[in-house]
Amino acid sequence: MESQKPQIVVITPVKNEAWILERFLSVTSEFADHIIIADQNSIDGSQAICKKYPKVILIENKSEKFNESDRQLLLIQAARDLIPDHKIILALDADEILAADAIKTPSWQAMLKAKPGTVLYFEKPDLFNTTHQCIRTGILTPLGYVDDGAEHRPQSIHSIRIPTPEYATRLHIHDIKVMHYALARLDAQSSKLRLYSVIENVLEVGHAIGRRSRYSSKVCYLSLGKLEPAPDEWFTGWEERGIDMHTIIKQKYYHYDFEVLRYFHKYGMRRFWMEDIWRYDWESCRQYAQSLGISDIPDYTISKTSKNVDLRKILDVIMSILTQFYSYVGLFFKPLISKKTV
């Protein structure tokens, strides 16, 4: 089996990804043998797009809840049930596009020859503001697994997507890039961060100070890594096949904020008062969602009273001071912790 050429099986969760899905499926169909899409109640035509691509196996994730653990287990099990042959599982989101020069690299052949039980690590540069520049951190992310049936133990949010058993071989791949398009739409990314903050509140992940730091409305992405031009070779090969690699579709309102409105409806707004989500015009978003007939959103006006605005400004200052304090404490104790663990 190990000498047999593996099937490449891409597994992808989808929820309202029509803005990027044609590009993702067009590119992924060029190198994957099978693409398993778990669609979670999309209302933007995502399922119809999937059905246009012969390599796509469309399954439904009928859950109404956000749970990365459940959807990852669903996708991995589907890959194992539907494609029992020797295979490489690549776990890619719809906004993660393989660079066009990837399949010509030495690492591509090394990946195909890797033994079962190998975790594959890739660099994932963030296209920033446009598709012509990117932020590179140099960090390699586990996105692939040469499957041997190992158990996957995911978390409910921000989980590693594939099995990473202790015995696994780690293959660090430096010359294959997976382009991440999320930061090409900075307004949509802000919307997504607001949703993550609310989800972590509901899941009781960490505390408000930590969430305000992780999902700050004033995040500086340029502090994450080096800003540099995005090489033409990442795009050219796909463009030669007629794939549009550069158009970015933006919207005034995003489904992430409609999801937040649903959380307001279910849990009440007071629960989320300490989250850094209140610089956004929720009432305009609510009215728009209402005009679309979106269900389970507040039926009352979400007002910005001067009292609440003043209180939140005070809270912002307090949280900023506390966040800086905790960061300082972390830096102070880090050397001590490191010495104890050596």
> 198-236: per-residue pLDDT in tens?
999 999 988 899 999 999 999 999 999 999 999 999 999
pLDDT at residue 206, rounded to an integer: 84
Q: How confident is the model at residue 323 (pLDDT cuts 50, 70, 90)?
A: low
User: Residue 265 pLDDT more than 90?
Assistant: yes
For the residues 165-191, what does the mean pLDDT come to? 98
Instruction: Give the integer Cα–Cα distance in Å for 178 and 326.
Output: 34
Cβ–Cβ < 8 Å for 215, 144: no
pLDDT at residue 270, rounded to an integer: 93
Local structure of 139: helix, strand or coil: coil
**Taking the CB of residue 272, how many other CB atoms lie within 10 A of it?**
19
pLDDT at residue 316, rounded to an integer: 62
**Who contacts 97 (Cβ-Cβ below 8 Å, separation ≥6)?**
23, 24, 27, 28, 178, 179, 181, 245
Cβ–Cβ < 8 Å for 128, 135: yes
**Taking the CB of residue 256, how many other CB atoms lie within 10 A of it?**
19
pLDDT at residue 308, rounded to an integer: 54
Q: How confident is the model at residue 303 (pLDDT cuts 50, 70, 90)?
A: confident
Q: 7-183 in CATH: which number?
A: 3.90.550.10
HSE-CB at 299 with a 13 A cutoff on CA atoms is 3
Instruction: Give the integer Cα–Cα distance in Å for 320 and 325.
Output: 9
- The sign of the CA dihedral 157, 142, 31, 149 is negative
User: Residue 78 pLDDT more than 50?
Assistant: yes
For the residues 326-333, what does the mean pLDDT come to? 51
Q: Which residue has the higher pLDDT, 325 or 29?
A: 29
Does the global pTM surpass 0.85? yes
pLDDT at residue 42, rounded to an integer: 95
> 231-264: per-residue pLDDT in tens?
999 999 999 999 999 999 999 999 999 999 999 9
What tokens does 317 get?
């200052």
For the residues 135-147, what does the mean pLDDT come to? 97
> 116-137: per-residue pLDDT in tens?
999 999 999 999 999 999 999 9
Q: How confident is the model at residue 335 (pLDDT cuts 50, 70, 90)?
A: very low
Instruction: Give the integer Cα–Cα distance in Å for 180 and 11.
Output: 16
User: Residue 322 pLDDT more than 70?
Assistant: no
Q: Which residue has the higher pLDDT, 298 or 335?
A: 298
pLDDT at residue 339, rounded to an integer: 34
User: Residue 140 pLDDT more than 90?
Assistant: yes
pLDDT at residue 226, rounded to an integer: 96
Cβ–Cβ < 8 Å for 67, 41: no
User: Percentage of the chain with pLDDT > 90?
Assistant: 83
Where along the chain do its domains lie?
7-183, 185-219+252-337
Give which of 54, 59, 9 is closest to 35, Cα–Cα.
9
pLDDT at residue 341, rounded to an integer: 30
For the residues 1-29, what does the mean pLDDT come to? 92
Summary mean pLDDT of the chain: 91
| Amino acid identity for residue 147 in this structure | D
For the residues 24-30, what does the mean pLDDT come to? 98
pLDDT at residue 171, rounded to an integer: 98
